[in-house]
Amino acid sequence: MTITRAFGTLAVLSLAAAPLAAQMQNGSAAVTRAAGTITEADVARRVHIIAHDSMGGRDTPSRGLELTAQYIADEFKRLGLKPGGENGTYFQRYPITSSQLDVAASHIGFMYGGKHVHAEFAKDARRNGGPVPAAGTGGPAVLIAGPLDAKALDTAALRDKVVLWVVDMTKPMPAGSSTLGPALIAAGAKAIIVVSNRDSTAFAQRLAGQSRPVTTLGGAASGPITVPFVEVHERVLTDMFTTAGTSAAEARASTTPLVRALEGVRVMVDMKETRKEASAPNTIGILEGTDPTLKNEYMVYSAHMDHDGIRTPRAGTTDSIWNGADDDASGTVGIVELAEAFAQQGARPKRSIIFMTVSGEEKGLWGSRWFSDHPTVPITSIVANFNLDMIGRNSGKSKGDVKQWSDTIVVIGKEHSDLGATLNRVNAAHPELRMNAIDDIWPEEQFYRRSDHYNFARKGVPILFFFNGTHDDYHEPSDTPDKIDAEKESRILQLLYFLGQEVGNAAERPQWKPESYKEIVEPPTS
């Protein structure tokens, strides 16, 4: 009940109404006082902790990431938040697998005309992606080249075959090539081998990277490539093509789609790797709502606590730690600041709030994907996600009439649900924050699908993504704590706090716009 409704009843004439009105005014004052706990000094202090060199850039997985997760859990406990992870803890852990190709023990065998030729990974072959099969995989060879249409592939000609895809590496990849690999896999190809005409020096340089460890979520193949995907230099295949009555150059010159079985040619992909199983943390705390019914619904504030770790210094520099102060210590700090504000006496809304810092965002949104697929509360009980990523700097990519970046925050996703209108209303109600929440001004960058909110959206949760944009220090070792605009961030966080009060106390949960729901939300798997 609002104060207006209270004064609209006859009860306002009674003495009992005065204490009620006073109580409501005090509650409003408590909400405002709680916002004041979000300060420039606190933001700066916490960013310097999380983005300190001792955290080692917070790679996934790493000791620094574990230290960061524990620091956040300790803060949640200090603030009185309930553990929201697994087994009564603040942590949800997800499996990751680190694999390393054994270059010396791996090769691709080409059998034709009584011959058996090896393409060795040490000099002639390069892993491009996909899994390393536990046992060798192979089959008859099919040559493809020319302007291929993924939608018009002859699936019968590709099923259970090893595809030799001849392309011209001296030119840009042909239009539609990004969809061809998944289409070949859907057609039943056993492996995809790109026949390369790269300069020998360039090819040798690309070989060097394939022996680096590759880390994947749960051991799954990265992306849509679920069969071995390798690149073989054409020099090792000249005799094979001649025996089959063709050449790589002839195939490469084709101006029409070419799909041809290479009679008598079989290919076996034999790759070996070493694997290490590990896990990484999400940190989750829950502040229970005050309403007996609405406390069973949740808002989620999220940010990713990982970054790029320790790397080889840039040329001419000695800094090997990618601190990730803006990306995304700024958002991680924001989660703790918001938890502190909402935990103040009189500041809890009717709905419950989940405060979550995820890891693995830089690897492919791992932590948020794992949570969205394995939620610790029913996913249908989550009414909104507010994601914070890079909120500590001003953008280096301003556009149009966006002049006052110190008073502007880009909020992506406003157009997809009524959360956009709610934010506009809250923003207008708090001019003291001097903060202008504007729509996405970089739609061509596809930021909507590039941070952790997307894994909530695909499950049907309305989202808003608070994001200042990229800058010259984006994914560079120069993204350091001293460059954070803590004063601006504190105002962004106060806006997020008041937004949470509005959504957390609303009678109805946020609603998608129907056309956006159809476009974004994945159908249930069961």
| Whether 159 and 220 share a structural domain | yes
- Cβ–Cβ < 8 Å for 56, 310: yes
**Is-contact 322 310, C-beta < 8 A?**
yes
Quick check: is 525 in a domain?
A: no
Has residue 16 been placed in a domain?
no
Q: What is the pTM of this model?
A: 0.79
Largest CA distance in the chain: 103
Task: Please indicate, yes or no, if residue 372 is contained in any of the structural domains.
Answer: yes
Do residues 484 and 498 share a domain?
yes
Of the three residues 221, 254, 271, the one that is the final residue of a domain is 271
The one-character DSSP state at 193 is E
Name the 3-class secondary structure at 333. Answer: helix
- Tokens encoding 496: 């997020």
Residues 188 and 240 in one domain: yes
Domain containing residue 140: CATH number: 3.50.30.30
Coil, strand or helix at 405: helix
- Return the bridge partners of 163, or none: 142, 192
Could you give the angle at the alpha carbon of 513 between the alpha carbons of 512 and 517, nearest 5°? 70
Hey, what are 324's tokens? 């990730």
Do 362 and 251 belong to one domain?
no
Q: What is the pLDDT along the chain (526 residues), one digit of tens a residue?
A: 233 333 333 233 333 333 333 333 345 899 999 999 999 999 999 999 999 999 999 999 999 999 999 999 999 999 999 999 999 999 999 999 988 999 999 999 999 999 999 999 999 999 988 888 888 999 999 999 999 988 888 889 999 999 999 999 988 877 667 788 889 999 999 999 999 999 999 999 889 888 888 888 886 554 567 899 999 999 999 999 999 999 999 999 999 999 999 999 999 999 999 989 999 999 999 999 999 999 999 999 999 999 999 998 998 899 999 999 999 999 999 999 999 999 999 999 999 999 999 999 999 999 999 999 999 999 999 999 999 999 999 876 555 545 557 899 999 999 999 999 999 999 999 999 999 999 999 998 899 999 999 999 999 999 999 999 999 999 999 999 999 999 999 999 999 999 999 999 999 999 999 999 999 999 876 5
Length of the chain, in residues = 526
268's tokens: 């076996």
Whether 90 maps to a domain, the answer reads yes
Q: Classify residue 66: in a domain, yes or no.
A: yes
Q: What is the dihedral of CA 518, 374, 333, 503, to 10 degrees?
A: 50
Task: Answer yes or no: are the C-beta atoms of 47 and 486 closer than 8 Å.
Answer: yes
Contact predicate 428/351, CB 8 Å: no
Asked if residue 124 and residue 81 are part of one domain, the reply reads no
Same domain flag for 302 and 426: yes
Distance CA 352, CA 383 (A): 10
Phi first, then psi, for residue 518 (nearest 5°) are -65, -35
For the chain, the domain total comes to 2
Domain span including residue 231: 103-271
H-helix or E-strand containing 125?
A: strand 125-129
CATH number for 375: 3.40.630.10
311 in the same domain as 287: yes
Are 510 and 465 within one domain? yes
Residues ≥6 apart with Cβ < 8 Å to 522: 458, 459
The helix/strand/coil state of 26 is helix
Q: Does residue 342 form part of some domain?
A: yes
Question: How is residue 264 written in tokens?
Answer: 């008598």
Q: How far is CA 21 from CA 13, 16, 29, 498, in A?
A: 12, 9, 12, 21
